[in-house]
Amino acid sequence: MTEMTETTTLPQSRHLATTVPGPRSQQLHAERLAQVSDGFGMVLPVFVDRADGGIIQDVDGNRLIDFASGIAVTSAGAANPRVRQRVAAQLERFTHTCFMVTEYESFTQVCRWLNEHTPGDFDKRTALFSTGAEAVENAVKIARSATGRPNMLVFDEAYHGRSLLTMAMTAKENPYRLNFGPLPEEIVRAASANPLRPAVAGDDLAATALASVEATLAERGAETFAAMVIEPIQGEGGFIVPAPGFLAGLRRIADQYGIVLVIDEIQAGMGRTGMLYASEHEGIAGDITLSAKALADGLPLSAVTGRAELMNAVHTGGLGGTYAGNPLACEAALAVFEEFEDGSLLANARTIEAVARDTLEALVTETAIVAQFRGRGAMLALEFADTGTLEPRPDLARTISAACHSRGVLTLTCGTHGNVIRLLPPLVIEEELLRDGLEVLRGAVLEAQATARTPVGVAAAP
């Protein structure tokens, strides 16, 4: 993880010049409140000047360690040299034509790479869009068009976006769905296989969850389902790695009933977990795989890649969008693909996991407030709960995250109960910087443990 050293444009060290947020950020934030809709939340009211490698530099000169990557986007770094060069060169040529009007080669090249690299040894086609939610919506359109069926199966703790359809597919009410109904009715929710908090009891979690999925399908008639849509690691829901065998079981059920299996790899894909796609860890392939976020390292680009016969079932003109597969974003994606081919991004993700495990995993037994350390590669999380009862402790996730922020480490929370701190560092973060940030987090957890109401030494949950 040291390859970026010569090419990063910012010192790769944490530095506090002021309190966080500093005076200039506070000023700018006051103006934001006067101008921007209150509907937008925000994790840390700090205004960014520059970002690169594992560092975000704010307008007050503070250098924060980035454990967010803009929510799993800037995996190759927020100022990656290849991305900058390709996008700058494209800027000189043209910014936009609309691929539905006149064509450009980079669009096809991105589709080809994704057809070759997404899981599944079958003939594929790809359609490009701009946002993750758009990719999910278009997968639904394609699956309905190909099957002639209306219903969608989604899962507990799922997150698929904020558009009208995708928020209906998302599980958590507040903030994603609250007050925004009525929601589409053809969305049916099934149990997931959350090892820490199983929805259905049983010795073999995958088997009992799969039986419950079959029962849910049967209620509406399995033959009415166009698709089942699942994240291979549930992201916003809490970085939940499903019980082993669950995804393979869904693959079998989808085949049995002719249901299109859509794997939403928008957060977990593009190398985040140490494999290019997280479904590869389970040895399965979706009929359709969705990519976004890290696909173009910060430029808005998303992709639906799937079996040629599904992707081509849609009538001509049925898919598209003004900005779909914008040429600047396509160039950025081609730069990201070069990084995967020449660089060490996947190996870095695995090193990040090893280093984080080394620093954080012991907190599960050392404290009575960390119920689990989990995740894969550079998609890792700590879940806070009273470990005796498993009662979620969102208050601790908030306090610990706030302590990290004030010390110059940008952490994010997530989870159905808001009690999870997730780590999504750029895959190019240097090891020393990573260790510094993890020690800050570890220290904040130990401090919280010292003041938490739970007695020390309560046995940790399995």
DSSP letters spanning 187-230: EEEE----SSS-SS--SSHHHHHHHHHHHHHHHH-GGGEEEEEE
Q: Does 132 bind ligand PMP (CB under 6 A)?
A: yes
Nearest alpha-carbon partner for 44 in 398, 385, 378: 398
Residues in 154-183 at the binding interface with ligand PMP, rule: CB under 6 A: 159-161
Instruction: State whether the Cα torsion 234-237-239-241 is positive or negative.
Output: negative
Distance in Å, CB of 72 to ligand PMP, minimum: 7
Q: Does 10 bind ligand PMP (CB under 6 A)?
A: no
- Choose the stretch contacting ligand PMP; rule: CB under 6 A; options: 19-27, 127-135, 218-226, 352-360: 127-135
DSSP letters spanning 408-440: TEE-EEESTTS-EEEE---TT--HHHHHHHHHH
Residues 6+ apart with CB under 8 A from 13: 55, 63, 433, 436
Nearest alpha-carbon partner for 266 in 236, 287, 243: 236
Distance in Å, CB of 163 to ligand PMP, minimum: 7
CB-CB neighbours of 40 under 10 Å: 7
Distance in Å, CB of 459 to ligand PMP, minimum: 33
Burial 143-152 (b: 16+ CB within 10 A, else e): bbbbbebebb
Question: Is 74 within 8 Å of 81 (Cβ atoms)?
Answer: no
Distance in Å, CB of 265 to ligand PMP, minimum: 8
- Name which position in 58, 137, 231, 353 contacts ligand PMP (CB under 6 A): 231
Q: x/- contact string, 286-325, with ligand PMP (CB under 6 A)? A: ------x---------------------------------
Q: Does 133 bind ligand PMP (CB under 6 A)?
A: yes
- Choose the stretch contacting ligand PMP; rule: CB under 6 A; options: 5-13, 222-230, 264-272, 454-462: 264-272
- Name which position in 52, 264, 297, 353 contacts ligand PMP (CB under 6 A): 264
Q: Does 449 bind ligand PMP (CB under 6 A)?
A: no
For residue 392, is the peptide bond before it cis, meaning its omega torsion is within 30 degrees of 0?
no
- Name which position in 16, 71, 98, 248 contacts ligand PMP (CB under 6 A): 71
Nearer to ligand PMP, 176 or 351 (CB): 176
Question: Is 51 within 8 Å of 79 (Cβ atoms)?
Answer: yes
Nearest alpha-carbon partner for 282 in 230, 237, 235: 230
Distance CA 430, CA 410 (A): 16
Q: Does 402 bind ligand PMP (CB under 6 A)?
A: no
- Name which position in 46, 79, 136, 191 contacts ligand PMP (CB under 6 A): 136
- Choose the stretch contacting ligand PMP; rule: CB under 6 A; options: 203-211, 262-270, 324-332, 378-386: 262-270
Nearer to ligand PMP, 113 or 159 (CB): 159
Distance CA 257, CA 262 (A): 14
Chain residues in the site for ligand PMP (CB under 6 A): 71, 131-133, 136, 159-161, 231, 235-236, 264, 266-267, 292
